[in-house]
Amino acid sequence: MFININLAHHAVHGNYFKKINNELEAANTKPSSISPSDTIVAATTIMDQRGLSRLLVVSGRTVKGTVSWHSIGSWLLRGGSRDADVRHCMKPPPRELRDDAPLLEAINEVERHQYVLIRNGNDNTIRGIITFSDIVRELLRLSEPFLLLMQIENHLRGLVLDGNFTVEDLRKVKDCRDSNRYVRHVDDLTLGEYLDLLSQEGSWQKLALPAVDRKAFTVQLGHIRRIRNAVMHFKLDPIRSEDLEILHECAKHLQITKFRKDVAR
Condensed to tens digits (0 to 9), the pLDDT of residues 187-221 reads 999 888 999 999 999 999 999 998 999 999 999 99
Distance in angstroms (rounded) separating the CA atoms of residues 185 and 187? 5
Distances (CA, A) of 140 to 2, 16, 148, 223: 21, 15, 11, 22
Distance of CA 185 to the CA centre of its chain: 31
- Whether the predicted pLDDT of 31 surpasses 70: yes
3-state secondary structure of 58: strand
pLDDT of residue 20: 63
The alpha carbon dihedral of 42, 48, 50, 53 has a sign of positive
Q: Kind of pairing, strands 115-119 and 126-131?
A: antiparallel
For domain 7-136, give the CATH number.
3.10.580.10
Q: Where are the beta strands (DSSP E) in the chain?
A: 33-34, 54-59, 62-68, 95-98, 115-119, 126-131
Rounded to an integer, the average pLDDT of 162-173 is 91
Q: What residue segments make up the domains of the chain, in order of their start?
A: 7-136, 143-263
